[in-house]
Amino acid sequence: MFGIVRPCRHTLCKSLHEEWIAHLCGLCLTLRDRHGHLARLVTNYDGLLVSVLAEAQAPELSPHRRAKPCALRGFAGADVVDARAEGARLAAAASLALAAGKIGDHVADHDGLYARPLVGAVARRVADRWSRASARESAELGLDDEVLRDALDRQPLLEARGGLTLLELTEPTETAVSAVFARTGPLTGKPHNAEALAEAGRLFGRLAHLLDAVEDLDADLKAGAYNPITATGTSLEEVRRLCDDAAHGLALAVDDLDLERRALERALLVTEVRQAVRRTFDEREKRGPRRPPEAPSGFFPCLAECMVACTCGAYQPRWSPDYGKRCRDRFTCPCDSCDCSGCCDCCRCCRHCDCDGNCCDGCDCCGCDC
């Protein structure tokens, strides 16, 4: 599981967390039902934002169903977005295209196990299958798949050119995410949202690219791999400024959207995005010059990595940077006039809206069902 927006029950109220799980599990099951069990490996936190945006604009076009027990939910059932929902299908198409492009890059660069002929051949076949599935799904939903493939193809060319600025290197990611976000407007009968959605997607794509580069900086330096931050000589202070500006612009774009439901969409694209920026740079600062633990080689590490994939990241080996990590984004009430010493859990909803400070009197301000 990957992505920059990773909320948990400590940072969302109960009803919003259940809504988020509905989209997360819905994306996973949509990939399974429409593209096979192997496709579930491309489930990611950021891809489900497409499904969230679609439902926020037209809830009636996003049917739900009751899913059977799953090991990742503690063998409990759950309310999930149905695979018929066009938002979930669009999220699945985008996730497949992204995964196919990533695998293609690894095979072309002969990275790690991909350098082995048999592994490379199998990976290439899987990538081709996912690319075709994405193109087919995108065509049915009216999304120009060529925009996504062109962005993925241009990225390595820009990296090889040299002499570019950091924002010039993030442009393909911005373009791809912008196109996917913008498509949810016409798809839900609100084409007037397309411009604000495109801007939100462009800024979110920039953030995803930059934060990923910051997280990978130490590992890339040790391996001698390409990283846009070192390649452009950009300081971390400047990267943080670019991220903060993008997060602010994203919040403004979200405010311009015409939505039927706003609570979850604002919680993820505003509050959680800002937390992702803080978390990434805070962890980088605490880590300092230390290198991440080196993964051993052999059969058991390969088995461990399979466990990571099969559990969608719930299991982490000891050499993983996520091993032993606990949620540090506990809720803190933003209402200066609110005495949170005796507040109920509903009060945490108030940070997702413009609250008048009387958040302990209920959650009508954010519209969630606490």
Query: What whole-number percentage of the chain has pLDDT above 90?
Result: 57
**pLDDT at residue 346 is higher than 70:** no
Give me the domains of the chain, ranges plus CATH numbers. 14-292 (1.10.600.10), 331-370 (no CATH)
Handedness of CA 187, 190, 194, 196 (dihedral sign): negative
59, amino acid identity: P
User: In the beta sheet, which residues pair with residue 221?
Assistant: none
**pLDDT at residue 316 is higher than 70:** no
Closest CA to 42 of 87, 96, 117: 96
Name the band, by pLDDT with cuts 50, 70 and 90, for residue 334.
very low
Residues 239 and 210: beta-carbon distance below 8 Å: yes
Instruction: Give residue-wise pLDDT tens across range 143-191.
Output: 988 899 899 889 989 988 989 999 999 999 999 999 999 999 999 999 9
Q: Compare 231 and 162 and report the one with higher pLDDT.
A: 231
Residues 128 and 83: beta-carbon distance below 8 Å: no
**pLDDT at residue 314 is higher than 70:** no
Q: Compare 2 and 310 and report the one with higher pLDDT.
A: 2
Name the band, by pLDDT with cuts 50, 70 and 90, for residue 326.
very low
**pLDDT at residue 365 is higher than 80:** no
**pLDDT at residue 336 is higher than 60:** no
**pLDDT at residue 358 is higher than 80:** no
Q: How far is CA 12 from the centre of its chain?
A: 16
CB contact burial 30-68 (16+ within 10 A = b; e otherwise) = bbbbbbeeebbbbbbbbbbbbbbbbbbbbeeebebeebe
Which pLDDT belongs to residue 105? 79
Which pLDDT belongs to residue 322? 52
Q: Could you give the CA distance from residue 104 to residue 127 in angstroms, rounded to a whole number?
A: 7
Name the band, by pLDDT with cuts 50, 70 and 90, for residue 285.
confident
Instruction: Give residue-wise pLDDT tens across range 56-92.
Output: 999 999 999 999 998 888 888 999 999 999 999 999 9
**pLDDT at residue 106 is higher than 70:** yes
Which pLDDT belongs to residue 284? 83
Q: 201: buried, middle or exposed (CB in 10 Å: 19+, 13-18, 0-12)?
A: buried
Which pLDDT belongs to residue 49? 96
Residues 345 and 370: beta-carbon distance below 8 Å: yes
Segment among 101-105, 106-110, 342-346 with least mean pLDDT: 342-346
Orientation angle between helical segments 236-255 and 166-187, nearest 10 degrees: 20
HEC profile of the chain: CCCCCCCCCCCCCHHHHHHHHHHHHHHHHHHHHHHCHHHHHHCCCCCHHHHHHHHHHCHHHCCEEEEEEEHHHCCEEEEEECCCCHHHHHHHHHHHHHHHHHHHHHHHHCCHHHHCHHHHHHHHHHHHHHHHHHHHHHHHHCCCHHHHHHHHHHHHHHHHHCCCCHHHHHHHHHHHHHHHHHHHHHHCCCHHHHHHHHHHHHHHHHHHHHHHHHHCHHHHHHHCCCCHHHHHCCCHHHHHHHHHHHHHHHHHHHHCCCCCCCHHHHHHHHHHHHHHHHHHHHHHHHHCCCCCCCCCCCHHHHHHHHHHHHCCCCCCCCCCCCCCCCCCCCCCCCCCCCCHHHCCHHHHHHHHCCCCCCHHHCCCCCCCCC
> At which residue do the structure tokens 């903060």 appear?
244
If you average pLDDT over every residue of the chain, what do you get?
82
State both tokens at 60. 């009636």
Q: Compare 363 and 3 and report the one with higher pLDDT.
A: 3
**pLDDT at residue 224 is higher than 70:** yes
